[in-house]
Amino acid sequence: MLREPADRRSFPPEVALHVVKIACELPDKLGRSLSQWDSVEIARELVADGIVASISADTVSRILRHHKLKPWRHQMWMSPKVPRDAVFKATVLEIADLYTRPLLPSEVVLCFDEKTSIQPRPRTSPTRPAQLGRPIRLEHEYKRAGALNLFAALDTRSGKVWGQCYERKRQVELIPFLEMLDEEIPPSVTTIHVVLDNVRMHKGKLVQAWLGEHPRFKFHFPPVHCSWMNQVEQWFSILQRKRLGLADFESTDALSEKILAYIAHYNEHAHPFNWTTQSVAKVMAQCEADAAA
């Protein structure tokens, strides 16, 4: 039965119940081709379902506010492929131990990853520097000029970064990068711990054969979906902000040159990121809370 109260604020409780019910359903489940609900669409749904003859979006908004619902918002999350169990905890603690314990003089701990598909994006008009009352002006239009993949490793104790750019991301690119590290890290370092993610390239037959011939390299893999444990990701965010924020490079060669120049400049002032046993304990507590949720 349609309800038409004189005052739009006086809708009976069952109307509010229907508002909440709709807000807590995905629109597709109710036959509506929408990604998310908003107050206008919920009001239309109430009328279409015959719950009320009319209702304003403002009234729907008040009901949603009262119940602390915001169905027009969304938040990304990832269902873990790896259970947050004892094995997960042990793996996280193993990586954390590499970051926090005192190292022997014969050890280093490196964090390695690839920053993929970096585009030079040369602009159709020159980028203009800041002037009084005006920010830097970057031409909106750009040309396609290929892309690069940056392979980078960060020393967790000094903050030093090694980097090389490659056109592709394969085992045959990873091995030369590892050989470069092998040449630059002195022989007195007999154990090189490398923290890197679980992609197939890092575990391929060519890489495994290379590791067999270079026993001082020890690979350590954090659990799946734990990229936050790889410290080079923090450095990638710095690189993105300070060197790649304005993508305007003539070519991939120019892009590679500028990236390597930035790494050399960064290493003049490099410092380690501050991982402590207390920060690890907070991370583990959050993991346990997420697992229980």
User: DSSP string of 207-225?
Assistant: HHHHHHH-TTEEEE-PPTT
Q: What's the alpha-carbon Rg for the chain, to the nearest Å?
A: 27
232-258: average pLDDT:
96
Domain positions in the chain are: 8-66, 86-292
The answer to whether residue 41 scores a pLDDT higher than 80 is: yes
pLDDT of 7 over the 90 cut: no
Window from 68-72, 77-81, 124-128 with minimum mean pLDDT: 77-81
How do strand 191-195 and strand 107-118 relate by DSSP bridges? parallel
pLDDT at 290: 61
Q: For residue 175, what is the enclosing H or E element?
A: helix 171-184
In this predicted structure, the answer to whether residue 53 has a pLDDT above a threshold of 80 is yes
pLDDT at residue 9 above 60?
Answer: no
- CA-CA distance, 231 to 111, in Å (whole number)? 6
pLDDT confidence band for 112 (50 / 70 / 90): very high
- pTM for the whole thing? 0.79
What does the DSSP assignment read for 23-50? HTS-GGGGT---SS--HHHHHHHHHHTT
Torsion of CA 10, 12, 16, 21, to 10 degrees: -160
Q: Which residue has the higher pLDDT, 67 or 287?
A: 67
pLDDT at 8: 43
Are residues 141 and 173 in contact, defined by beta-carbon separation less than 8 angstroms?
A: no
Question: In this structure, are residues 222 and 230 in contact, taking their beta carbons and an 8 Å threshold?
Answer: yes
**Cβ contact 222:197 at 8 Å:** yes
Beta bridge partners of 162: 153
For the sheet with 148-155, list strands across it.
Answer: 161-166, 148-155, 107-118, 191-195, 217-220
pLDDT at 229 over 50: yes
**Nearest Cα to Cα of residue 230 among 193, 266, 259:** 193
Strand partners, 194: 110, 219
- Superfamily of structural domain 86-292: Ribonuclease H-like superfamily/Ribonuclease H (3.30.420.10)
